[in-house]
């Protein structure tokens, strides 16, 4: 892909209220009140959950390809991405509401990895989310993404994609809960 086309895609993505995956020098100042403008996209329904190794700051690894047996909501995010930061508490609450029925995985795309993510999690005190790291952005590539954050993909228990959302989303909305209920078979 040419540099000009890449830059056009990144700028276009930022204009629609999401973030590119390149780390800016400073976090986005407008994190509070960022627009949650993402919409549900079912165009890739049936795609399989890719097998990518994520790292935890404590040294554990998670192979996403082994996450079958229960639905998975997989979120790609970064500490500097305003819509990502806005939806994290909503994802944490969703993970608590569906605990034991669905696993919520948040995979940071921060290039500095644990250096940025661990303090972010310590400050936020999430009760149901773990700080998984994808420093090489392998998961974004495997999902066929264009680097727009946040990107969240819902998989059913067999590892098949149900739907995805590109951009920030209200994971406490009735529409979101209906989507999750569909994936878990409620």
Q: Which tens digit of pLDDT belongs to each residue from 89-132?
A: 999 999 999 999 999 999 999 999 999 999 999 999 999 999 99
What's the rounded Cα separation, in Å, for the pair 162 and 87?
20
Q: What distance, in Å, lies between the first and last C-alpha atoms of the chain?
A: 43
pLDDT at 19: 64
Domain of 46?
34-184
Neighbours of 79 (CB within 10 A): 22
Residue 92: inside a domain, yes or no?
A: yes
Token couple for 150: 């946040």
pLDDT in tens, 23-75: 444 444 444 455 799 999 999 999 999 999 999 999 999 999 999 899 999 99
Q: What is the domain count for the chain?
A: 1
What's the rounded Cα separation, in Å, for the pair 129 and 30?
23
Residue 72: inside a domain, yes or no?
A: yes
CATH of residue 167 = 3.40.30.10
Residue 2: inside a domain, yes or no?
A: no
Residue 27: inside a domain, yes or no?
A: no
């Amino acid at each position: 892909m040419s540099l000009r086309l890449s830059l056009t895609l990144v700028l276009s993505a930022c204009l629609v209220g999401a973030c590119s995956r390149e780390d800016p020098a400073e976090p986005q100042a407008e994190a509070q009140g960022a627009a949650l403008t993402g919409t549900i996209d079912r165009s890739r329904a049936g795609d399989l959950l890719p097998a990518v190794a994520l790292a935890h700051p404590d040294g554990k690894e998670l192979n996403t390809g082994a996450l079958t047996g229960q639905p998975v909501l997989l979120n790609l995010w970064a500490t500097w991405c305003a819509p990502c930061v806005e939806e994290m508490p909503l994802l944490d609450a969703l993970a608590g509401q569906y605990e034991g029925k669905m696993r919520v995985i948040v995979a940071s795309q921060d290039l500095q990895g644990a250096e940025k993510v661990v303090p972010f999690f310590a400050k936020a005190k999430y009760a149901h989310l773990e700080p998984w790291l994808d420093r090489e952005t392998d998961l974004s590539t495997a999902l066929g993404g264009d680097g727009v954050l946040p990107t969240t993909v819902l998989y059913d228990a067999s590892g098949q994609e149900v739907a995805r959302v590109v951009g920030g989303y209200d994971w406490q909305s009735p529409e979101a809960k209906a989507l999750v209920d569909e994936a878990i078979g409620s």
